[in-house]
Structure formats: structure tokens, C-alpha cells
């Protein structure tokens, strides 16, 4: 039976078409997928469970945040605001998505749809946390300060980077849109003195920029660690299979050269400490032995 040798799978990352010349393969912008399609497919299957777990964590954090804000708004007293009606609705939506995503046999396409819906409702949740003016006309409720909703938006942005399994470009777009929405709403809705408003806007912009950069840094490190762990696990399994195949070849060779009882005894001795392997002489004594002398003449034509 002909043996099929192991094929060495390339673990090099494939260059994207948009990668500029001269950039090393290990650059983040060029790490789209592995060079081997089989290896990339295995990584997607291996990473599906991790992505599902990350999505569940993100939905749990968002649902907890929406419920906590709902309780806080209910205890803060009467008043009509946009966020008071949106927080319970978003809490129900995030809890429903958590239940749908917590399925044992979930496909890649289904998970991507759930993640897209999560990102959409996370954006609406963050947008409605911005400092909008009171809804009721003629209301004497105070206008929210410029820093209203900043920590909610920062938390949602970091969750999108660190937990939601989306493309890095999509996560960056989400973070930028959330930051721009808060700055625009604050600049158009908050009635404060000009110098105080600009100071608050600059502080909020610096904070959102820091959150986006830190989230992007965490995301890059996480993706690298996942791919590195997958490669290490794959290479470990490959080396183990290769060693088992070599051991089978050596055992068959040993069985073909020596009697079975001697070969099995040598195989057992190989498992002993190294200092005892080569000090044993495999000689056995037999009382009744017959010697057969056989010779054959070769006749030339």
C-alpha cells in the first residue's frame, strides 16, 4: 500500500491587493487570511466558537447596561426624555439577541447577522444617550450638560472593539460615528457659554479618540493571539501525527527484519530508561536445533 506523505501547510499570511510594496507580511493591514485555503477554513471553524462566546459577552454587557440605565432613570424622578423610553426597549432587544445567539449549533452566517443587528442597535442606543434637549415643549427641565452620556458611549465603543466579532474597519467606523454623533448633538443642543462648551467638546473628543485607539490596540492584539494560538495547536497536532507515522514505519521495518518475539522485546526495552537500552544482548538458548545447509548452483547458459 502506497503511503501518502504529510503535506506541509504554509503558515504565511497572504498579502492583500491593497498592501503597498515594501510592507512586511507581518504588518496588520496585510494580515487578511492565511496563504492556504484549507488552513483559513480550519481557522474560521476553530474561531466560530470563540466569536460566539465574544458576542454573548458583548450582548450581556449591553443588556446589563441598558437595564441599569433604565433603573437609574426610573429612580431619578419624573420627567420626559428620549433616553427614558429607549433604555427599556434596548434592554429587551439585547436580551432577545442574547437568547438567539446562545444556540449550540450556530452557523457563521447566522452569527454574522446577529452581530450586525447588535452593532446597529448599539449605535441607536449610544445615539439616544447623547445630551438631547427635553422633549416636551415649554418644559422647565434643565438641559443636559455636555458630558452627559460620555461614559455610556465610551463603554459601548470599547465593547464593539473588544468583544463584537466584526471587521476591524467596521468597528473603527462605528467608533468614529458614535464620537461624531455625540459631538454634533452636544454642539447643537447644549446651551452653555461658548468657552465652556468648546472646552467640553475638546475634552470629549480627546476621550473618544483615546477609547478608539485603545480599543483598536486591544483588537489587534486579540486577533494576533488567536491566530498564533491556532497555528501552535495545528502544528502540535501535525507533529504528533508525523511522529506516530514514523513510529509505525519503524515498527514495520523492525518486524520485517527480526523475529516477532525479539522485535516485541526490543520495542518494550525502548520504553525503559536510556542507560539500559543498549546493554542487553538479545540471545536465546535452544536445546533442539537443526541446521540446514542450502546451496544453489548457478548454471551459465
Domain residue ranges of the chain, discontinuous segments joined by +? 35-134+143-213
Alpha-carbon distance 29 to 20, whole Å? 10
Q: What is the pLDDT of residue 8?
A: 45
In the predicted model, what is the mean pLDDT of residues 79-89?
72
pLDDT band per the 50, 70, 90 thresholds, residue 125 = very high
Q: What is the pLDDT of residue 15?
A: 42
Of 117 and 296, the one with more pLDDT: 117
Alpha-carbon distance 207 to 150, whole Å? 9
Three cell numbers written together for 180: 461624531
- Among 54-63, 74-83, 115-124, 265-274, the minimum mean pLDDT is found in 74-83
pLDDT at 211 over 80: yes
Alpha-carbon distance 155 to 147, whole Å? 14
The angle formed by the CA atoms of residues 115, 120 and 121, to the nearest 5 degrees, is 100
Neighbours of 31 (CB within 10 A): 19
In the predicted model, what is the mean pLDDT of residues 188-214?
84
- pLDDT one-digit tens code per residue, 5-41: 444 444 444 444 443 444 333 333 334 566 677 777 7
In the predicted model, what is the mean pLDDT of residues 172-197?
84
Backbone angles phi, psi at 26, to 5 degrees: -80, 0
Q: What is the pLDDT of residue 96?
A: 94
In the predicted model, what is the mean pLDDT of residues 41-56?
83
Of 137 and 228, the one with more pLDDT: 228
Instruction: Spell out a b/e string for 90-110, using b for 16 or more CB atoms within 10 Å of the CB, else e.
Output: bbebbbebbeebeeeebeeee
pLDDT band per the 50, 70, 90 thresholds, residue 114 = very high
Q: What is the pLDDT of residue 121?
A: 94
Q: Give the whole-number percent of the chain exceeding pLDDT 70.
A: 73
Q: What is the pLDDT of residue 90?
A: 92
Stated pTM of the model: 0.68
In the predicted model, what is the mean pLDDT of residues 230-252?
86
Alpha-carbon distance 172 to 190, whole Å? 27
Alpha-carbon distance 35 to 106, whole Å? 26
pLDDT band per the 50, 70, 90 thresholds, residue 173 = very high
Q: What is the pLDDT of residue 49?
A: 85
Amino acid at each position: 500500500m502506497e503511503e501518502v506523505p504529510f503535506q506541509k501547510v504554509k503558515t504565511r499570511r497572504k498579502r492583500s491587493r491593497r498592501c503597498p510594496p515594501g510592507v512586511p507580511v507581518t504588518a496588520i493591514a496585510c494580515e487578511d487570511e492565511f496563504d492556504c485555503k484549507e488552513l483559513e477554513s480550519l481557522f474560521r471553524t476553530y474561531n466560530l466558537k470563540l466569536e460566539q462566546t465574544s458576542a454573548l459577552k458583548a450582548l450581556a454587557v449591553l443588556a446589563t447596561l441598558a437595564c441599569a440605565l433604565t433603573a437609574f432613570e426610573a429612580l431619578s424622578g419624573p420627567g420626559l426624555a428620549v433616553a427614558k423610553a429607549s433604555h427599556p426597549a434596548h434592554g429587551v432587544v439585547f436580551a432577545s439577541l442574547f437568547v438567539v445567539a446562545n444556540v449550540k449549533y450556530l452557523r457563521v452566517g447566522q452569527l454574522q447577522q446577529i452581530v450586525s443587528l447588535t452593532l446597529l442597535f448599539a449605535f441607536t442606543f449610544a445615539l439616544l444617550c447623547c445630551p438631547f434637549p427635553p422633549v416636551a415643549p415649554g418644559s422647565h427641565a434643565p438641559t443636559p450638560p455636555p458630558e452627559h452620556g460620555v461614559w455610556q458611549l465610551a463603554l459601548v465603543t470599547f465593547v464593539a472593539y473588544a468583544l463584537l466579532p466584526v471587521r476591524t474597519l467596521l468597528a473603527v467606523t462605528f467608533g468614529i460615528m458614535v464620537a461624531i454623533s455625540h459631538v454634533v448633538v452636544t454642539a447643537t443642543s447644549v446651551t452653555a457659554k461658548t468657552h465652556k462648551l468648546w472646552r467640553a467638546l475638546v475634552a470629549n473628543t480627546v476621550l473618544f479618540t483615546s477609547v478608539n485607539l485603545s480599543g483598536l490596540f486591544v483588537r489587534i492584539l486579540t486577533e494576533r493571539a488567536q491566530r498564533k494560538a491556532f497555528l501552535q495547536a495545528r502544528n502540535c497536532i501535525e507533529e504528533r501525527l508525523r511522529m506516530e507515522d514514523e513510529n509505525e514505519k519503524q515498527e514495520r521495518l523492525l518486524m520485517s527484519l527480526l523475529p516477532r518475539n525479539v522485535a516485541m522485546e526490543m520495542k518494550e526495552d525502548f520504553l525503559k530508561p536510556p542507560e539500559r537500552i543498549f546493554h542487553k544482548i538479545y540471545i536465546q538458548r535452544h536445546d533442539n536445533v537443526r541446521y540446514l545447509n542450502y546451496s544453489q548452483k548457478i548454471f551459465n547458459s
